[in-house]
Amino acid sequence: MATGKINVSVENIFPLIKKFLYSDHEIFLRELISNATDATLKLKHLTDIGETDVKYGNPVIEVKIDKEGKKLHVIDQGIGMTKEEVEKYINEVAFSGAEEFLEKYKDSAKDSGIIGHFGLGFYSAFMVANKVEIITKSYQDDQAAHWVCEGTTDFTIEDADKKERGTEIILHINEEDEEFLEENRIQELLVKYNKFMPIPIKFGTKEETLPLPEDAPEDAEAETKTVDNIINNPEPAWTKQPTDLEDKDYKSFYRELYPMQFEEPLFHIHLNVDYPFNLTGILYFPKMTQDMNIQKDKIQLYQNQVFVTDNVEGIVPEFLTMLRGVIDSPDIPLNVSRSYLQADGAVKKISSYITRKVADKLKSLFNNNREDFEQKWNDIKIVIEYGMLSEDKFYEKAQKFALYPTVDNEYYTFDELQEKLKDNQTDKDGNLVVLYASNQDEQHSYIDAAKAKGYKVLLLDSPIISHLLQKMEGEKEKISFVRVDSDQVDNLIKKDEEKISKLSEEEKEKLKGDFEKVIPKEKYTVQMEAMDSDAAPLLITQPEFMRRMKEMQQTGGGG
């Protein structure tokens, strides 16, 4: 038997990286700006802890298009690299200088916001460029270096005469990737991925109108001046402490996140945890509309202020994907499949933390201003009811604040409802019978009849309500939910049995018989009613079980 070693050489891996490392070619820019950001944050950290006395100043990262030269430049004023460092960090594929830095400054740098991780990001440049140059000058070295590579394993490195500290990456863009020489395309990418990165990013210049002085004549022309076009907000709201933010700051951040969204959010939830995992973010409850499932403004996922995706499936419990906002966590493994994510312990913890925070916030909104909560109920109930149906933990918590409105706009919690009904709305076996309507217009005669008998009627009109009611019947003892137009209303103990109908027994029997001739008996029940109210003299009801079966089929699956 012979044994051997599989030879993995860079020559073999290189083309694979180019082809398969990232499915999306456009992320090369995110990777290069992440590296430029890291280089700047490293310098900041070293000056902060006094390891160097170079001046940090107000560094920016600049992105420049050279259309004629077919080149794209990314320039930073970070720590730069010596020739030796280029050899070490760049030429060794899958060696991460970011990880090395974090390891070296373990104690002090854990909150430095450094992004890099796998030591592969830089090579994504070769997805769109056939030739890449690095011109770099270390903060510790007077001699700059110039590295050139044409996408093979060969490279050259020589001295350069760059004067300023920092690194310039030059991509010679492939012919088939010339979209990345278009200003609009680059602007779009910068806004998509780098809108909230921590170091200012400059892309060209723009004209800014100066405010007119107070005493300016009416026909005075406003002056403009040319300023840097900074595409990002380096300090987005979620990176700040909740105590430093006011309601208006949360609202204006919402508009920053969703510039095309004109409706104000109902309320926000600021997430902030650093143990046992790191996670910050702000979630917003939007006003729910009927067509929420075609919603395109979704929760955005970031890692250290770098946009990753707006597909948070598996990370946020499904019922909360209807919310908006951002989540930023370096602890979410992203280079794995979604099904793996759902099984990952850390991700499960994150998901249940978010569920808990949302429940706590709803509880405190309910406690602090019940009136306001009642007013918002119709806009938030879909999320809450869906959450109660799908997450048992949330179901438990929501018992305290979930509301059950009546057709007359009274809002009860479940406990309050129970208290209200216990003397007047039970059946022979002592079960509480909760009457509800699902459509006030269609069922108004049934509602009136029930009210005339002194019963409370809830108005529960969400599409998933029948699933939720079934779950509640299963969880709670001695309770049944009965729709006002169902035959089970009859099971209620009647207090007004003695009320006399204006019709004689004979007349009633005849009327009943006449109706039964024209409507199918197996589908409906005809019931005579007392006549001393404004309600109808007779009710046609539907067996509860048949109606539920039909509803379940319509909304798909059981609860």
Q: Is residue 59 involved in binding Mg ion (CB under 5 A)?
A: no
Q: Which residue number is nearest to Mg ion in terms of Cβ?
A: 121
Q: Quick one: which of 78, 80, 113, 116 contacts Mg ion (CB under 5 A)?
A: 116
Which of positions 89-108 make contact with ligand ADP (CB under 6 A)?
89-90, 96-98
CA angle 388, 407, 382 (to 5 degrees): 25
Q: Which of 437, 430, 431 is nearest to 451 (CA)?
A: 437
96 is in an annotated binding site: yes
Q: Give, as ranges, the residues between 154 and 183 that touch ligand ADP (CB under 6 A).
A: 167
* Closest alpha carbon to 253 in 216, 294, 281, 230: 281
Instruction: Return phi, psi of residue 32, to 5°.
Output: -70, -40
Q: Is 13 in the site for ligand ADP (CB under 6 A)?
A: no
Q: Are strands 129-137 and 166-173 parallel, antiparallel or unpaired?
A: antiparallel
Could you give the strand order of the β-sheet that contains 457-459, starting from the edge strand earlier in sequence? 457-459, 432-437, 479-483
Closer by beta carbon to ligand ADP, 87 or else 344 = 87
Q: Which of residues 266-285 bind Mg ion (CB under 5 A)?
A: none
> Binding to ligand ADP by residue 64, rule CB under 6 A?
no
Piece of the chain touching ligand ADP by CB under 6 A; list 78-86, 312-320, 325-333, 371-379:
78-86
Stretch that binds ligand ADP, among 73-81, 220-228, 368-376, 454-462 (CB under 6 A): 73-81
For residue 121, state whether it binds Mg ion (rule: CB under 5 A). Answer: yes
| Binding flag, residue 97, Mg ion (CB under 5 A) | no
Q: How many CB atoms lie within 10 A of CB 363?
A: 15
* Smallest distance, Mg ion to C-beta of residue 124, A: 9
User: Nearest-CA neighbor of 392 among 317, 292, 478, 479?
Assistant: 317
The token pair at 214 is 């107070």
Among 27, 28, 33, 35, indicate the residue that binds Mg ion (CB under 5 A): 35
Residue 384's binding partner among Mg ion, ligand ADP, none (Cβ under 5 to 8 angstroms by kind) is none
Query: Which residue, among 189, 230, 180, 185, has the nearest Cα to 208 in the 3D structure?
Result: 230
* Of residues 303 and 443, the one with the C-beta less far from ligand ADP: 303
Say how far apart CA 447 and CA 533 lie, in whole Å.
12
Nearer to Mg ion (CB atom), residue 46 or residue 98: 98
C-alpha span between 120 and 34 (Å, rounded): 12
Task: State in angstroms the smallest separation of the CB of 133 from ligand ADP.
Answer: 12
In 376-531 the beta strands, taken as DSSP E runs, fall at 404-405, 411-412, 432-437, 457-459, 479-483, 525-528
- According to the binding rule CB under 6 A, does residue 59 interact with ligand ADP? no
Nearer Cβ to Mg ion (121/317):
121
To ligand ADP, the closest distance from the beta carbon of 18 in angstroms equals: 13
CB-wise, 103 or 442, nearer to ligand ADP?
103
Q: Are 94 and 8 in contact (CB under 8 A)?
A: no
Interaction residues for Mg ion, span 217-236 (CB under 5 A): none
> Are 277 and 350 contacting, i.e. CB atoms less than 8 angstroms apart?
yes
Smallest gap from Cβ 177 to ligand ADP, in A, equals: 19
Q: Does 40 bind Mg ion (CB under 5 A)?
A: no
Angle 330-127-124 (CA atoms, 0-180°, nearest 5)? Answer: 30
> With binding defined as CB under 6 A, does residue 436 bind ligand ADP?
no
Least distance to ligand ADP from the beta carbon of 326, Å? 22
Q: Show the DSSP H helices in 110-205 as ranges.
A: 183-194
- The answer to the question of whether 547 is labelled as a binding residue is no
Strands (E), 286-348: 300-303, 306-309, 324-328
Distance (Å, whole) CA 101 – CA 340: 29
338 is in an annotated binding site: yes
Site membership for ligand ADP, residue 35 (CB under 6 A): yes
Nearer to ligand ADP, 79 or 145 (CB): 79
* Whole-angstrom distance, CA of residue 328 vs CA of residue 238: 8
- Asked whether 382 and 288 are in contact (CB, 8 A), the reply is yes
Binding residue numbers: 31, 35, 76, 81, 96-97, 167, 338
| Residues of the shown chain interacting with Mg ion in the complex, contacts defined by CB under 5 A | 34-35, 116, 121
| Residues of the shown chain interacting with ligand ADP in the complex, contacts defined by CB under 6 A | 31, 35-36, 38-39, 76, 78-81, 89-90, 96-98, 116-122, 167
